[in-house]
Amino acid sequence: MSSSKPLTGGGLLFEVLEQHGVEHVFGYPGGAIMPIYDALYDSSVKHFLCRHEQGAAFSAVGYARAAGKVGVCMATSGPGATNLITGLADALADSIPVVAITGQVATSAMGSDAFQEIDIFGLSLACTKHSFQVSNIDDLEDVLHQAFEIALEGRQGPVLVDIPKDIQQAEVTSRLEEFSHLTNKVQLPLADISNAIDILTHAKQPILYVGGGVGMANAIDEVRDFANQTGMPSVSTLKGLGAINADNENYLGMLGMHGTKASNLAVQECDLLVVVGARFDDRVTGKLNEFAPNAKVIHFDIDTAEINKRRFADAAILGDLKANLPLLSMSLNISGWQEKVQQMKADFGWRYDHPGSKIFAPAVLKEMSDLMPKNTCITTDVGQHQMWSAQHISVDDPCNFLTSGGMGTMGFGLPAAIGAQISRPHDTVIAVSGDGSIMMNVQELATIKRYQIPVKILLIDNAKLGMVRQWQDLFFDGRLSETDLADNPDFCQLARSFEIKAQTITEKSQVTEALEEMIDHQGPYLLHVKIDAKDNVWPLVPPNTANDKMMESV
Amino acid sequence: MNNYKLIIMTDDRQVVLERILQVTRYRGFLINGINAQVNTGNQIATIELYVSSERPIELLIDQINKLIDIKGVKVDNKADNKGAQQHSA
Ligand SMILES: Cc1ncc(C[n+]2csc(CCOP(=O)(O)OP(=O)(O)O)c2C)c(N)n1
Ligand SMILES: [Mg+2]
């Protein structure tokens, strides 16, 4: 079939994708990428037609995060390419390996304001780890290999390859025998290991601060071993959730703005922070110069630029966490400190009592967490439901909790769940969304319908942009500006029009049965949960405040 | 404001200059001057970048170093002192 035709740039793209083990791509066609879609016709790579390029980008992100592989998305020039940008920015902020392929107008037309011409290469500089524009067919193969290598090397991230239409159509005349590998620039530490050991040995109240880098470095076993051997109490960022097993008695949960009281108090009191794959994000630290004020810092990271960026490191250990963390493993004599944090954990545990018959979202999420099968992958959107999910759902691996951390992008949850489900067809995938967020990529219900993707959607409906409403109530004198969503569509009818089974619940007494029905259902399902618009996420560290000064109610 | 002169060694690749300028602006450094000869067909380009900022220069060096094509970044300490003196004078 294809063997009778000469190999074109478009055909070469799919050959390279296959060489890198890519089985699935997410995309949307258009004029300037037609030769690539023509080559797709002959390829064994399976393409999922999303209903918006942003959906394609987020599905690629969800795919990458759930499976630990590179996610691939593609779009046409101009508006197709610009629609990818939010997804690329999200992948950059959360260090997710994604390769985005964009069609571009033909080289002869470039720079002439041609139809659907945009300088996506220029736009990509701020929202990718690296990008390429291919100007010669002879460069294409090498560029594509490099794109995959760069996406995965060191701190992972998105790479964009912009391919003009004539390059897609050009005949490939020579093939590479081997492609050139990147030279690794990570510089290994000189003496900091012994310095770190010295600091660690003298610590009386140490805390292990676990970030998203742990999962990305495949160092979950090493971090758990380290936590067990040292007996060090641990806390997690939003992206680190799952790295430490929730049944570790010294694990205190998430820290930061909506972190647990025990985590935040313990961190404020500690005399040493051992930071693994985390970056002192402002949502974690609260007021930076009052964060963990008495702590020395041992900082493990793959990215040199994170060391001393927001907090000075007394010892910095650069490079592969998997190899480096065991170098510091030792047993510590900190039983008094352990008892203290365990007491805090017991004193400040979550409470699920909630007056009235209206549904309490934290209780629903906790119950769902208890009911869901092992290895369920959760995705979330952004808002109160996201923070409640982080607080009340327990996962045992960061690849089972996919949330837009760095960017906080509404619209992430549904397409990310689609990508996750495609990468892990045998696991349950549940998107926890909000009534505001779901509408941001609601068109992806059509993707679910088309491919019969059995994603479950738990829609927490407060008829509000709840998180913004909460801030308006707390910090803007209750002046509720543009956060009411009382005119939401009928979500169940909407789901049914995409052949997705759906149910609404409004009372506590309905929760258990409805959750069971959703989880047991074979195909896609939307469970619409109406909650009280006034419920808030607690605790909350107000902006520019130290983490021990959290609010716990109004 | 502190003044610095950076000497950047880079693979002579497409838009490397634009990438450096973008990172420099985004990370909070003002570009006061630049000497660059790029896209010469040679493999390696050297770029001299004069910047000023309240922020520690290490933050910018680390970020420029992260760009894929960069081989190395150095601060020219002599230029740093001279620049600072000129400003305080
Ligand atoms: C794309 C995007 N636009 C705006 C915001 C700001 N924002 C953060 S949370 C939120 C409200 C989300 O509403 P909903 O999805 O209903 O979640 P809830 O907080 O009600 O649970 C908004 C508007 C954002 N994070 N992302
Ligand atoms: Mg809402």
Is A338 inside a domain boundary?
yes
Residues of chain B found within 8 Å of residue A132, distances taken between Cβ atoms: 14
Give the model's pLDDT for residue A288: 98
Question: What architecture is the B2-83 domain classified under in CATH?
Answer: 2-Layer Sandwich (3.30)
Same domain, A224 and A124: no
* pLDDT tens per residue across span A470-510: 999 999 999 999 999 999 999 999 999 999 999 999 999 99
Q: C-alpha distances in angstroms, A325 versus A152, A225, B69?
A: 21, 9, 29
- Search chain B and give the residue with CA nearest A124: B19
- Interface contact A125-B62, CB threshold 8 A: no
Does one domain contain both A369 and A485? Answer: yes
The C-alpha of B59 sits at a distance from chain A's nearest C-alpha, in angstroms, of: 7
Cα–Cα distance between A271 and A255 in angstroms, integer?
Answer: 16
Per-residue pLDDT band for B43 (boundaries 50, 70, 90) equals confident
Starting from the CA of residue A431, give the closest ligand. Answer: 1
Overall average pLDDT of the A281-298 stretch: 97
Sort out which chain A residues have CB atoms less than 8 A from B68's CB and list them: 129-130, 150, 182
- List C-alpha distances in Å: B13 to A39, A78, A104, A105, B46: 29, 24, 20, 22, 12
| Atom 8, ligand 1: residue with shortest CA distance | A383
The answer on A121 and A250 residing in a single domain is no
Question: What is residue A110's predicted lDDT score, i.e. its pLDDT?
Answer: 98
Best probe residue, ligand 1, of A386, A460, A467, A470 (max atoms within 8 Å of C-beta): A467
Examine the domain organization and report whether A85 and A159 are in the same domain. Answer: yes
A103 C-beta closer than 6 A to ligand 1 = no
Any domain includes A180 = no
Asked whether A472 lines ligand 1 (CB < 6 A), one says: no
Report the pLDDT averaged over residues A77-102. Answer: 98
Beta strands in A261-406 (DSSP E): 272-276, 296-301, 315-318, 377-380, 401-402
Q: Is the CB of A533 under 6 A from ligand 1?
A: no
Which pLDDT band, with edges at 50, 70 and 90, does B3 fall under?
very high
Residue B88 pLDDT more than 50? no
What's the CATH number where A412 sits? 3.40.50.970
Q: What CATH number is associated with residue A216?
A: 3.40.50.1220
Q: What is the pLDDT averaged over residues A372-396?
A: 98
Domain annotation covers residue A383: yes
A397 and A485 co-located in one domain: yes
- Note the pLDDT of residue A511: 98
pLDDT at B81 over 50: no
Find the domain containing A458 and state its range.
361-530
Tens digit of pLDDT for each residue in A162-181?
Answer: 999 999 999 999 999 877 67
Asked if A448 and A521 sit in the same domain, the reply is yes
Ligand nearest to the CA of A432: 1
Percent of chain B whose predicted confidence (pLDDT) is above 70? 87
**Looking at the domain assignment, is residue A68 inside a domain?**
yes
- How many Å apart are CA B28 and CA B54, to the nearest integer? 8
List CB contacts (< 8 A) between A129 and chain B. 68
**So what's the pLDDT on residue A190?**
56
**pLDDT tens track for A429-453:** 999 999 999 999 999 999 999 999 9
d(CA A286, CA A288): 6
Q: Are residues A240 and A326 in the same domain?
A: yes
How many domains does chain A contain in total? 3
The answer to whether position A230 is within a domain reads yes
A460 CA: nearest ligand 1 atom? 21
**pLDDT of the residue at A177:** 82
pLDDT at B77: 75
A102 shares a domain with A16: yes
**Residue A266 banded pLDDT, cuts 50, 70, 90:** very high
Asked if residue A2 is part of any domain, the answer here is no
Query: How much of chain A, in percent, has pLDDT values that exceed 70?
Result: 97
Chain B residue with minimum CA distance to A130: B68
Q: Is residue A538 part of a domain?
A: no
- Edge-to-edge strands of the sheet including B70-75? B30-36, B44-53, B2-11, B70-75
* Alpha carbon of B62: minimum distance to chain A alpha carbons (Å): 5
The minimal CB distance from A133 to the residues B14, B26, B63 is found for B14
Contacts of A149 in chain B (CB under 8 A): none
Q: A224 and A137: one domain?
A: no
E runs forming strands in A336-417: 377-380, 401-402
Min CA distance, B89 vs chain A (Å)? 31
Ligand 1: centre distance to CA A340 (Å): 37
Q: Residue A300 catalytic?
A: no
Q: Which residues make Cβ contacts (< 8 Å) with residue B12, sequence separation at least 6?
A: B38, B39, B40, B41, B42, B43, B44, B45
Q: Is the pLDDT of residue A183 over 80?
A: no
A13 and A111 together in one domain? yes
Q: Are A385 and A525 found together in one domain?
A: yes
- The answer to the question of residue A541 being in a domain is no
3-state helix, strand, coil in chain B (%, to 5): 35, 35, 25
Q: Tell me, in angstroms, the distance from the centre of ligand 2 to residue A156's CA.
A: 32
Kindly state whether residues A290 and A398 are assigned to the same domain: no
User: Tens digits of per-residue pLDDT, A190-239?
Assistant: 558 999 999 999 999 999 999 999 999 999 999 999 999 999 999 999 99
